Homo-oligomer: A and B are copies of this chain.
Amino acid sequence: MNSEFFQDYYPDDVSHCYGRGRLNEQGLQLKSRWDGEETVAIFEPRPYHTAIPGFVYGGLLASLVDCHGTGTAAAAGYRAAGRDLGTEPPLRYVTAKLQVEYLRPTPLGVPLEVRGRIVEVKGRKVVVSITVAANNEICARGEVIAVQMPEAMTPK
């Protein structure tokens, strides 16, 4: 495979996620990639992702923080292990804790830039700091604590 997007390397069994699974047609299909030491994803909310008319729904912003955060965690996990994305066995991450601060109303109708910065990779845990910007202005800031997926969730 020759894609720059983390999510294209997810095994099929974790590609149904609403937020980032390439196989979930109703989902957001967020695409995250490296940009130097940071990660970035561009997402344009759909008209129905509205809160107050003209502004983006906060739950969507939380979802973007969450999904870009776990995507970044997986990429960071592979990199810390000196492995290429998509190599076996797969490293799968889930969110243990999510935090989002809404700094200003986020306008609907423009692409949002979601940026991730890796704060810590330690054992099974990765901490990622995230910003969401519209028109180059940061509208929301968040943090994701991701952990490698517990065995109980691994598809059989």
Spell out A's residues near B (CB within 8 Å): 13-14, 16-19, 21, 24-27, 48-55, 57-60, 62-63, 66-67, 92, 94-102, 105, 149-150, 152-155
Contacts and interface: CB of A to CB of B under 8 A. Distances in A.
14 contacts: A13-B53, A14-B52, A16-B50, A18-B51, A19-B58, A19-B59, A51-B94, A52-B154, A54-B155, A58-B98, A59-B62, A62-B66, A62-B100, A97-B102
Contact of A66 (B26, B58, B95): B58
A137 to B, nearest CB: 13
B62 A98 contact: yes
Number of copies: 2
A26 to B, nearest CB: 4
A13 B52 contact: yes
Given A13-B53, A17-B50, A50-B16, A58 B94 contact: yes
A150 B58 contact: no
Contacts of A66: 58-59, 62
Contacts of A58: 19, 66, 94-95, 98
B62 A105 contact: no
A101 B92 CA distance: 18
A116 to B, nearest CB: 15
A109 to B, nearest CB: 14
Contacts of A19: 57-59
